[in-house]
C-alpha cells in the first residue's frame, strides 16, 4: 500500500471507521520512493489522465505516482479510468495497471511456467523473421498445399492477408538453418477477435511440434491482447494442424476453427453468467457453436477435476475454483 491510503481514510466521516481502517492499513507493507521521482511521475500521470478534479482523482494519481517511485511493477485496481490508460501509464512510468483477476493469472503463469510456454526445441537453429514481400516466391515453394489442390493464386491471396501493410497484422516465417519451416500471421483489425488467416508448415520432422508450439503462441497472443475469440480461417490446413487445433481447445465451425478465451477466476457458479454472455457474444459475431460443444453451464458446480481441467483448456485463461473450498489470495 502507499501512504496516500491514510489520506483517504482521513476523509471518512465516522471516527470509528477511520480508526478501524487505520489499524487494518498498518498491517500492510507501505511502499515509498524518492520525492523527486514521485513528483516527476505525478506530473507524467497528470498529463496522461488529466488534472485531478476532486480528492478521489488526486488520490488515484498519488497512489500511482508512489507505486512508480517505489519501482513496484504492478498496480492492482478496478478503476476503469486507470485501466483505460494502462498502456500509456506503463510506457511513461513502467507500472502495469491490471485488474485483480489479471494479477492472479500473471501469478499462475509464473508458478506454472511450463504449462504456459511452448516446448523448447533442442538441437535446432530456429530463427524467426517477419514476412516480407520479396520472400513470396520462396514461400510458394515450401507452403503451397498442392496435395489438397491449392493453386499458386490461392496461396498468394492468403499471403496477401499477412503482408506488412496493415499495422494490425503480424506475420512471421520460421527458419531452420535458413530453410522455411513454418509461416503464420495474425490479424487484430477487430480488437475482440484474433484472426489467423495463414497457418502453414513445411512437411518434415519438426512440422507437428511446430504446429503445437505456434498454436500455443497464438493463444497466448490472443489472451494477452484481451481477445475473447481466436479464429483460424486458413482454408488449406493439413490434417495434423487441425488435430493440434482440436487438442488446444479449438472447435470447427463451418470452415473456421474458433476458440473462446474467458479471462476470469472463480467458482463455477461465479463464472456461469459470464460464460453465457461470451457464448452469446460469439453467436452474435457469427461463431455459433455446435450443440455438442456447448458447455454445461448449469452444472459447472459439479464438474470433476478432469472436466474442470478440460474446460480451463478450452477457455484459457479461465481458472475455476471449487465452490466448496475457501480460496485465499
pLDDT for 284: 75
b/e 144-173 (16+ beta carbons within 10 angstroms → b): bbeeeeeeeeebeebbebbbeeeeebbbbb
Q: Are residues 226 and 247 both part of a single domain?
A: yes
CATH number at residue 143: 3.40.630.30
Q: Are residues 78 and 115 both part of a single domain?
A: no
pLDDT for 175: 85
Q: Are residues 89 and 40 both part of a single domain?
A: yes
Q: Are residues 137 and 224 both part of a single domain?
A: yes
Q: Are residues 77 and 118 both part of a single domain?
A: no
Q: Are the CB atoms for 45 and 75 separated by under 8 Å?
A: no
State which of 98, 115, 139 marks the end of a domain. 98
Sign, CA dihedral 57-59-65-67, equals negative
Q: Are residues 159 and 305 both part of a single domain?
A: yes
The 8-class DSSP code of residue 31 comes to B
Sign, CA dihedral 67-68-74-78, equals positive
State which of 98, 116, 137 marks the end of a domain. 98
Residues of the chain with pLDDT under 50: 113-123, 291-301, 323-329
Which residues, 6+ apart, have CB-to-CB distance to 74 below 8 Å? 95, 96, 97, 98, 103, 106
3-state class (DSSP) for residue 179: strand
Q: Are residues 83 and 139 both part of a single domain?
A: no
Q: Are residues 163 and 141 both part of a single domain?
A: yes
Q: What range does the domain containing 110 cover? A: 100-329
pLDDT for 290: 56
Q: Are the CB atoms for 68 and 41 separated by under 8 Å?
A: yes
Q: Are residues 245 and 268 both part of a single domain?
A: yes
Q: Are residues 36 and 173 both part of a single domain?
A: no
State which of 46, 77, 98 marks the end of a domain. 98
Q: Are the CB atoms for 303 and 311 separated by under 8 Å?
A: yes
Q: How far apart are CA 27 and CA 87, in angstroms?
A: 31
pLDDT for 119: 39
pLDDT for 300: 47
pLDDT for 41: 93
Indicate the number of domains in the chain: 2
Beta strands 229-232 and 256-260: pairing type? antiparallel
CA torsion, points 33, 39, 42, 43, in degrees to nearest 10? -150
Each residue of 230-245: pLDDT tens digit?
Answer: 999 999 999 999 999 9
Q: Are residues 114 and 78 both part of a single domain?
A: no
Q: Are residues 131 and 44 both part of a single domain?
A: no
Q: What is the pTM of this model?
A: 0.55
Each residue of 182-206: pLDDT tens digit?
Answer: 999 999 999 889 999 999 998 776 7
C-alpha cell at 133: 514481400
Amino acid at each position: 500500500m502507499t501512504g496516500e491510503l491514510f489520506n483517504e481514510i482521513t476523509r471518512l466521516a465516522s471516527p470509528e471507521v477511520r480508526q478501524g481502517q487505520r489499524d487494518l492499513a498498518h498491517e500492510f507493507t507501505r511502499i515509498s520512493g524518492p520525492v523527486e521521482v514521485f513528483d516527476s511521475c505525478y506530473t507524467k500521470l497528470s498529463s496522461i489522465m488529466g488534472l485531478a478534479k476532486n480528492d478521489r482523482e488526486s488520490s488515484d494519481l498519488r497512489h500511482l505516482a508512489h507505486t512508480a517511485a517505489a519501482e513496484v511493477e504492478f498496480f492492482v485496481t478496478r478503476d476503469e479510468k486507470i485501466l483505460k490508460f494502462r498502456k500509456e501509464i506503463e510506457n511513461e512510468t513502467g507500472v502495469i495497471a491490471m485488474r485483480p483477476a489479471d494479477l492472479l493469472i500473471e501469478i499462475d503463469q509464473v508458478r506454472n511456467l511450463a504449462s504456459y510456454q511452448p516446448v523448447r526445441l533442442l538441437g535446432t537453429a530456429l530463427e524467426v523473421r517477419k514476412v516480407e514481400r520479396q520472400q513470396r516466391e520462396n514461400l510458394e515453394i515450401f507452403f503451397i498445399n498442392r496435395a489438397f489442390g491449392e493453386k499458386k493464386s490461392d496461396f498468394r491471396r492468403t499471403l496477401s492477408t499477412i503482408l506488412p501493410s496493415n499495422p494490425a497484422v503480424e506475420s512471421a516465417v520460421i527458419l531452420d538453418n535458413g530453410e522455411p519451416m513454418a509461416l503464420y500471421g495474425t490479424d487484430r483489425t477487430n480488437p475482440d477477435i484474433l484472426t489467423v488467416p495463414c497457418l502453414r508448415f513445411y512437411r518434415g520432422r519438426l512440422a507437428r511440434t511446430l504446429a503445437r508450439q505456434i498454436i500455443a503462441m497464438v493463444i497466448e497472443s490472443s489472451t494477452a491482447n484481451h481477445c475473447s475469440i481466436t479464429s483460424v480461417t486458413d482454408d488449406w490446413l493439413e490434417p495434423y494442424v487441425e488435430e493440434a487445433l482440436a487438442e488446444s481447445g479449438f472447435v470447427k465451425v463451418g470452415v473456421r476453427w474458433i476458440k473462446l478465451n474467458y479471462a476470469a477466476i472463480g467458482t463455477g457458479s461465479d463464472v456461469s453468467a459470464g460464460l453465457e454472455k461470451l457464448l452469446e457474444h460469439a453467436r452474435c459475431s457469427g461463431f455459433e457453436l455446435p450443440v455438442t460443444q456447448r458447455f454445461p453451464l448449469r452444472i459447472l458446480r459439479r464438474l470433476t477435476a478432469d472436466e474442470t481441467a478440460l474446460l480451463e483448456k478450452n477457455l484459457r485463461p479461465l481458472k475455476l475454483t471449487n465452490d466448496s473450498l475457501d480460496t485465499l489470495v
